[in-house]
Structure 1
Amino acid sequence: MDRPELPLPQLHAFVVLAEELHFGHAAARLGIAQPPLSQQIRRLEDKVGHALFTREPGRVALTPAGRELLPAARRALSELADGLAASRAVGSGRTGRLRIGFAASLALTVLPGLLRTHRERFPEVRLDIHEMTTAPQLAALHDRTIDLGLLREPPADEPQLDFRTVLTEPFVAVLPSSHALAAQRSVRVGQLAESPFVLLPRAVGPQLYDRIAGLCASAGFTPRVAQHAVEWQTVCALVETGLGVSLAPASIRRIRLKGVAFRRIEPATVRTRVAVGRRRGDQNPLVAHLLAGLSVT
C-alpha cells in the first residue's frame, strides 16, 4: 500500500492548530486568514483518510487519528528544521570537513599559524591534514581526495588547478659541520661542485628538484647525487653522517641537528616559491575561508 505524501505546510498548520485548539488563534500564529487554514487541514485530512479534529461551536479537539499523527508530525518538522540548519551551516562554510595536503617543510613555516587561525574562526570545521610531497598532492587534487594543497614549486602546466603564491624563501646550503665550507658565513653554489649531494627524489617533487639542479647548472656543474631521501628531516640526518651536502629551502634551518651547518647561498635573490593549490572553479566555501586566512598573490 502506497503511503500518502504529507506536504510540510499542511503538517505545520496541523501542529499549530493541535497546540492552539482554536482556528482563529492558530491562523493568527501562522500569519494567515482562517479560511486558508481550514483548507489546509481539510486537504491533510483527505490525504490521511480520517478526520483529525472534531469541530463543535467554540470547541476544537483532536480525534484519535489526530492524536496519533501529532508526535510524528512534530518529529518531521523538527528533523526538517535541524536539516535546514545543518545545510545552511555547511553551505556557509561554518561546519563541514576540509582536507588539506601539505609539504613537510611547511610545518616549519606557514602551516601552524594557518591552522591555529582557522580553528579560532571556524571551530566546528573538521580539518583533515595529510603530509604529502608535491607529486602526490597534485594527484590527490585531481582525484578530489584533498581540497587544498600547500606545496613547493608548483607546476606551470596544470590547467585544471589554480596556484597562488603564499611566500617565497631563499635556499640554504646544508653541510656537515666538519665540511670546509661550514666555516664560512655564506657560500656560492659553485663551491659545492666537488661534493656529493643528498636530494629528494625527482619523482616526489619534480619542480623543486629541477630548481635545485638548475641552480647547480647555472654554477657550471651537475650535482652528483650520492643518496636520495623523501623527507627533509632525513636529508639533514644523512648530511650529518657525512654522506653529502644539499640545497634546501631556508625554513629547513629549524631542523636542529648538532652535526649540520646551514649557510646562506649567494646571491640571496635565489628563492623557492610556496603556493596553495586548488581545483579551478571550486566553489567550496570551506576552501574560500581558508584562503582568506592566507596572504596569497
Structure 2
Amino acid sequence: MLIDRSRREELSVRRVRSLLAVAEHRSFSEAAKMLGLTQPAVSQHVKQLEEQLQISLMVRDKEGLRLSAGGAALLPAFRRFLSSNGAILDQLASLGRGTEQILRIASPASYAALSLAPAFRSIRESFSKHILDISEIDNEESFHLVRNGDIDFAITSVFVPSPGLRFEVLHQDFACVVVSEENALAGATEIDEASLLSQPIIRFPSGTTSHDWLSVITERTGIEPETIAEVRQLLTGFQMVCQNLGVALVPEDAAKACKLPGLITIPLKDRRLTRKLGIVTSETHHPTDFEKALVKMLRVQQAGLSA
C-alpha cells in the first residue's frame, strides 16, 4: 500500500507529547494541566496528528476516553520517538559543555552497578571529557538498538544468534535464591528446586534470566510455582522478599547489586543454571579508544574475580 505525502511528513514532538499525555490521563483537561497548555491546544495537537496519519488515535466509549486500536499499536513507537528526541537534546547539551564522546550502552542494572561503574572510574582520568550513557535493559530490545545504531554495544544474558550481530562472553554467574531472614529457608546453606517451589514466588518479567530459569525448573519438575507477584524492578521485588511475601530466583550479581537489610542470599543447589553475560555489537561496528579501554577494564575485572 502506498503511503501518501501527508503521512510521510515529519512528526511534531508537541503533537506526540500531547497524545501520550492524553493516553496516560485519559482526559484532555488533565493532560493540558500536566503539559502547562490549554485544553483546546492539546485537543488540536491530537486532531492534527490524527489528520496527518489518517487514523483515529483516541476513542470515547462506555469505558471513557482511551487509545483506539491503531493508537495502542503505535504507542511504543510514539514513546521511542519522544525518548530519542530527548536523548538528542541531552547529548547536544553535553557536547555544548565540551564532551568529546558519548558512549551509549545497554546493560542489566546489576552488571552496570557492579562492573561498569568501577570500570569507568578506573579509566575516567584518561577520558575526562567522555560520557557514558547507560540504558538498564536486558532483553531483545537491546539487539534492535545495536542493529539500528542507537547504542554502541549491549551487555546481555539473553542473546540468541542473530544476523549482523556478534556476541563475546564477558562474565558468568550462577542462580541463587533471595529470602527474608524471617523465612523458614533462611538457615539453609543451599536450596534445592523442591524447596524453592514450596515457597510463593516473586517473579520477574518474561525474557529475563530469572523468568527463564523458573520456566526450566517448572518444566523439569512438572510443578507450577505459586506466583504471588510479578514485578519489573529488582528493588521492588527484593522489598517484597524482605516483607517475607515470597522468595525470588535471581543471578548472583543481581543479589549482590541490591543488598537490603533483612535479605539473605542462598545458592541454588543445581549449579547448571548459569547466566552468561556478553557484549553484543554490530558486525560493522568500529570501537573508539574510549570503548576499547572500558571493555579491556571489564575483562581485567573479570579475570581478577576468576583468579
Opposite residue 226 of structure 2, the aligned amino acid is R
Task: Give the alignment partner of residue 261 of structure 2, picking from 258, 270, 274.
Answer: 258
Deviation digits for residues 26-65 of structure 1 (CA, Å, limit 9, x no counterpart): xxxxxxxxxxxxxxxxxxxxxxxxxxxxxxxxxxxxxxxx
> Match of 1:183, SS?
coil
Name 1:168's counterpart in structure 2. Answer: 172
2:124 maps to what in 1? Answer: 119
Question: By how many angstroms is 1:209 displaced?
Answer: 2.2
CA distance in 2, matches of 1:156, 1:173: 26
TM-score by length of 2: 0.58
Matched, 1:193 2:197: yes
Partner of 2:41: none
Tell me the CA shift for residue 95 of structure 1.
Answer: 4.3
Greater radius of gyration (CA): 1
Residue pairs, 1:172-251, within 5 angstroms: 172-202=176-206, 205-206=207-208, 208-251=210-253
Q: CA deviation at 1:167?
A: 0.9
One-letter identity of the residue aligned with 2:127: F
CA gap of 1:215–1:114, structure 2 versus 1, over 3 A, is farther
Of 130, 139, 142 in structure 2, the residue corresponding to residue 137 of structure 1 is: 142
How do 1:1-297 and structure 2 match up within 5 A? 95-151=100-156, 153-202=157-206, 205-206=207-208, 208-254=210-256, 255-285=258-288, 286-295=290-299
Aligned residue pairs total: 201
Cα deviation code 1:92-111 (max 9, x no counterpart): xx942211122111134211
Q: Secondary structure at the match of 2:223?
A: coil
User: Tell me, which stretches of 5 or more residues in structure 1 are unaligned?
Assistant: 1-93
| CA–CA separation in structure 2 for the residues paired with 1:111 and 1:288 | 13
TM-score by length of 1: 0.60
Distance 1:260 1:237 in 2: 9
- The structure in which a higher percent of residues are strand is 1
Report the 3-state secondary structure (helix = DSSP H, G, I; strand = E; otherwise coil) of the residue aligned with 1:181: coil
Unmatched 5+ stretches in structure 2 = 1-98
Q: Distance in 1 between matches of 2:131 and 2:177?
A: 38
Cα distance in 2 between the residues matched to 1:209 and 1:147: 27
2:210, 2:250 within 8 Å by CA — same for their partners in 1?
no
Structure 1 runs (4+) deviating above 6 angstroms are none
Give the distance between the partners of 2:144 and 2:225, measured in 1 at CA. Answer: 28
